[in-house]
Amino acid sequence: MRQAKVERNTSETRIAATVDLDGTGRYDVSSGIGFLDHMLEQLSRHSLMDITLKAEGDLHIDFHHTTEDTGIALGQAVDQALGDRKGVQRFADVLIPMDETLTRVALDLSNRPYLVWRVDFSRDKLGEMDTELFKEWFHAFSQNAGMTLHVENLYGTNSHHIIESCFKGLARALRRAVEIDPRKAGEVPSTKGKL
């Protein structure tokens, strides 16, 4: 059972998150930030991970802490659910079109976290959310999931389409990378013997 539950409580946020890597894409998400909820629902649906997330944060200040901490909690849950990472495909990449937008996402479940973010927005906000916070979420998630993650928007003009293609790209790549390789189900996919 590749499932995990994480609780993160700080003076700024209180978060409970669960993931099931072998789910069907069911979600129950409530962060208090409507646009972020929409993106996390996309992550669940297109990765086929079941995700529950309940967050309460200091939204009266801004959305930064809640956005970053949801990335931390979900990343930690994915890391725990992966366990020793035996048998996973490990690598995956996708191209995601969304109307006029095209985004490439590539990842490695290497346990060597790194983020390359090549995404620009034409707007400062989507709904009430600052677009600069999306990089913070992807950074927090990749660092805590133990993932090398490259996200590059190749072209596009609509900021909503751009960020949604990033989340859908992460979802589809993650779906493939966490799948068990039937030819190597009991082995860690590394010549080192561990990830």
* CATH label of the domain that carries residue 19: 3.30.230.40
Residue 83 falls inside a structural domain? yes
Q: Check the CA dihedral 58-60-66-68 and report its sign.
A: negative
Q: What is the pLDDT of residues 146-159, one digit of tens each?
A: 999 999 999 999 99
Q: How confident is the model at residue 193 (pLDDT cuts 50, 70, 90)?
A: confident
Angstrom distance (rounded) from CA 37 to CA 18: 15
pTM, two decimal places: 0.97
Q: Print the domain residue range for 25.
A: 3-178
Residue 194 falls inside a structural domain? no
The torsion angles phi and psi of 17, rounded to 5 degrees, stand at: -135, 140
Q: Check the CA dihedral 177-178-183-185 and report its sign.
A: positive
Residue 116 falls inside a structural domain? yes
Q: Angle of helix 64-82 relative to helix 133-145, nearest 10 degrees?
A: 20
Residue 18 falls inside a structural domain? yes
Q: Give me the half-sphere count of Cα atoms (radius 13 Å) on the Cβ side of residue 21.
A: 24
Q: What is the pLDDT of residues 81-113, one digit of tens each?
A: 999 999 999 999 999 999 999 999 999 999 999
Residue 130 falls inside a structural domain? yes
Q: What is the pLDDT of residues 33-83, one digit of tens each?
A: 999 999 999 999 999 999 999 999 999 999 999 999 999 999 999 999 999
Rounded to 10 degrees, the C-alpha dihedral 158/141/16/54 comes to 0
Give the count of domains, the chain: 1
